[in-house]
Amino acid sequence: MERIPILKMGDFLIVTIQVDMHDRLALALQDDLTTKISATNAKGVLIDISSLEIVDSFIGRMLSNISGMARILDAQTVLTGMQPAVAITLVELGLSLPGIRTALNVERGMSLLRASLAESDDATSEDDVDASHEM
Binding region for another protein (CB under 8 A): 20-24, 53-58, 60-61, 83-86, 88-89, 92-95
93 vs 118, beta carbon nearer another protein = 93
Min dist. Cβ of residue 107 to another protein (A): 24
SS3 12: strand
Q: Would you say 37 or 90 has its CB closer to another protein?
A: 90
Q: Residue 42 or 79: which CB sits closer to another protein?
A: 79
- CB closer to another protein, 28 vs 73: 28
| Distance in Å, CB of 2 to another protein, minimum | 10
Nearest approach, Cβ of 133 to another protein (angstroms)? 47
